[in-house]
């Protein structure tokens, strides 16, 4: 049988490994990579310039800085607890971050940044420093706790935790309510104030309907802003140098154009009431590859306070409408859908807000992607209702991890005990997710299924290592 120090070191090593896997999920999801020279060149240009394009005190930069520091603090804490020096813990974190940022150069939708590398390293150093200052107390608490966790209590906590997690995920209290726009809300074309990237292309026409219609031929639009046919009076507040009228429409070459107040007010009367509506944009993007991104139509004071946002992100498009489940300063939850193909050409993009769902149609074909908008009973459920890129998997995994850890802690020694713990950590949550999804009328979330498997793979070995350390102590 392993001695107490060896068992505790084993637990800390597995804990560090589990957290490294978590970091990989956060930094590299959804693990979509492409060996494309255009993508590599575009991301390489942003490595040093992205964070210096804005003020270092802007809300997005401050929030991202604090997030990166907090994300790597546990890594430094765990490595320092396992016996590594502070300098070594920070160096290892720097290598992990460097590897992730390098892979982000090949990941569409991710932005590699030297600034992130610095913040991640600083976070690991801070976590190691915290252990150096208060590690004695933490170690004594850890040694005391690992001797005083009865297996029956662990079983009960695992069952109760599973029920709590499932209730948090699926306890729906009401559909969302639209949030009306307050005052005169400006409408920007090509990008909002604070946007790092500017959209390039030609906007032919923008139309809005006071109903969630799927076809542009269903009825006459309530708002019809047609830029075709050359210069028109009363459409724009001003015409910057990087924009021009043409027979095809309004050509944007990196410019930010503001709609005239009368057009913005008409736009708000349809899209800003909180009632269902649909919007259709006819446009010709300059490119449909990794070099193209930016807001096409944005209503709001800035990029961080949007009421409506339609943008392009490489080959994808994003659609956002502010509702009662939206965050205070950012455009989530938003619909991200693949526009299809790389042909710049003329396109028809249609977006639908039904009151509790966002949907999209490209060239008249409804896309399978969609975002369900619901108000949830708990703050954690609210977070789960606001997915973007990678958060669903990481949040689900974090919630199921405690259940899997307790299952591993309560399992008896030996291979049979490990198999039983893994079965409980996988089968019980998966059954609960399927049952409650059917009850709520929702499709089974693939992220939830993947999170169950990931949590079981990480949590069960951690729990069994903890149990081994307790028995050795």
Contact between residue 351 and residue 334 where contact means Cβ atoms under 8 Å apart: no
Which residues fall within 8 angstroms of residue 322, CB to CB, at 6 or more apart?
178, 179, 306, 307, 308
Backbone angles phi, psi at 151, to 5 degrees: -65, -35
- For residue 2, name the pLDDT band (cuts at 50, 70, 90): very low
Q: How confident is the model at residue 172 (pLDDT cuts 50, 70, 90)?
A: low
Give the integer Cα–Cα distance in Å for 299 and 317: 16
Residue that wins the pLDDT comparison between 258 and 213: 258
- Given a cut of 90, whether residue 189 has pLDDT beyond it is yes
CB-based contacts of 143, cutoff 8 Å, min separation 6: 4, 8, 473
Task: List alpha helices for 146-281, DSSP H.
Answer: 151-170, 261-271
How is the chain split into domains, by residue range?
A: 4-173+377-472, 187-376
Q: DSSP readout, 353-398?
A: E-SSEEEEEETTEE-S--EE-EEESSHHHHHHTS--TTHHHHHHHH
Tens digits of residue pLDDT in 299-340: 888 777 788 889 888 778 888 888 776 755 455 677 777 776
Q: Are 206 and 279 within 8 A, CB to CB?
A: yes
Hunting for tokens 């029956």 — which residue is that? 152
The terminus-to-terminus CA distance of the chain in angstroms comes to 11
Mean pLDDT of 365-378: 65
In this predicted structure, what is the pLDDT of residue 136? 64
Q: How far is residue 453's CA from residue 470's CA, in Å, rounded to a whole number? A: 26
Is a pLDDT exceeding 70 seen at residue 140?
no
Among 68, 128, 77, 129, which Cα is nearest to 100's? 68
Q: Tokens 């662990």 belong to which residue?
A: 154
What is the C-alpha to C-alpha distance for residues 138 and 153, in angstroms, rounded to an integer? 22
pLDDT confidence tier of residue 249, bands split at 50, 70 and 90: very high
At residue 283, the 3 state secondary structure works out as: strand
Look at the pTM and tell me if it is higher than 0.75: no
Q: H or E element: which one contains 419? A: helix 415-440
Q: What is the largest CA-CA distance in the chain?
A: 85
Q: How confident is the model at residue 48 (pLDDT cuts 50, 70, 90)?
A: low
């Amino acid at each position: 049988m392993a001695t107490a120090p060896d068992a505790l070191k084993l637990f800390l090593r597995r804990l560090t490994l589990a957290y490294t896997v978590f970091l990989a999920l956060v930094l590299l999801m959804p693990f979509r990579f492409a060996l494309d020279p255009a993508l590599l060149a575009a991301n390489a240009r942003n490595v040093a310039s992205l964070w210096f394009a804005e003020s270092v005190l802007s809300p997005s930069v401050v929030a991202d800085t604090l997030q990166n520091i907090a994300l790597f603090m546990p890594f430094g804490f765990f490595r320092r607890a396992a016996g590594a020096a502070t300098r070594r813990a920070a160096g290892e974190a720097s290598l992990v971050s460097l590897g992730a940022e390098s892979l982000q150069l090949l990941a569409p939708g991710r932005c590699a940044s030297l600034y992130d590398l610095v913040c991640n390293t600083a976070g690991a150093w801070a976590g190691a420093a915290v252990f150096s200052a208060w590690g004695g107390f933490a170690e004594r608490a850890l040694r005391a706790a690992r001797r005083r966790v009865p297996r029956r209590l662990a079983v009960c906590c695992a069952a109760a935790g599973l029920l709590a997690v499932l209730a948090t995920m699926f306890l729906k209290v009401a559909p969302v309510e639209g949030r009306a726009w307050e005052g005169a809300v400006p409408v920007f074309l090509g990008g909002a104030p604070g946007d790092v990237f500017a959209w390039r292309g030609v906007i032919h026409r923008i139309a809005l309907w006071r109903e969630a219609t799927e076809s542009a031929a269903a009825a006459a639009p309530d708002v019809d802003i047609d830029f075709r046919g050359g210069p028109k009076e009363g459409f724009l507040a001003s015409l910057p140098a990087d924009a021009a009228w043409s027979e095809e429409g309004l050509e944007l070459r990196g410019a930010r154009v503001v709609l005239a107040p009368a057009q913005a007010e008409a736009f708000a009367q349809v899209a800003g009431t909180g009632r269902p509506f649909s919007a259709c944009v006819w446009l010709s993007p300059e490119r449909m590859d990794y070099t193209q991104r930016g807001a096409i139509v944005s209503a709001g004071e800035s990029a961080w306070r949007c009421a409506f946002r339609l943008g392009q992100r490489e080959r994808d498009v994003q659609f956002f409408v502010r509702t009662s489940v939206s965050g205070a300063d950012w455009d989530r939850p938003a619909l991200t859908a693949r526009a299809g193909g790389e042909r710049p050409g003329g396109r028809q993009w249609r977006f639908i807000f039904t009151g509790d769902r966002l949907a999209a149609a490209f060239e008249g074909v409804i896309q399978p992607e969609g975002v369900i908008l619901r108000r949830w009973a708990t703050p954690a459920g609210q977070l789960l209702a606001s997915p973007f890129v990678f958060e669903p998997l990481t949040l689900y995994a974090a919630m199921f991890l405690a259940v899997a850890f307790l299952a591993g802690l309560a399992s008896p020694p030996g291979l049979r005990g490990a198999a039983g713990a893994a079965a409980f950590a996988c089968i019980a949550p998966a059954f609960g997710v399927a049952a409650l999804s059917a009850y709520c009328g929702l499709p089974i979330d693939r992220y939830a299924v993947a999170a169950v498997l990931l949590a079981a793979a990480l949590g069960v070995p951690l729990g069994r290592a903890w149990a081994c350390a307790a028995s050795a102590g």
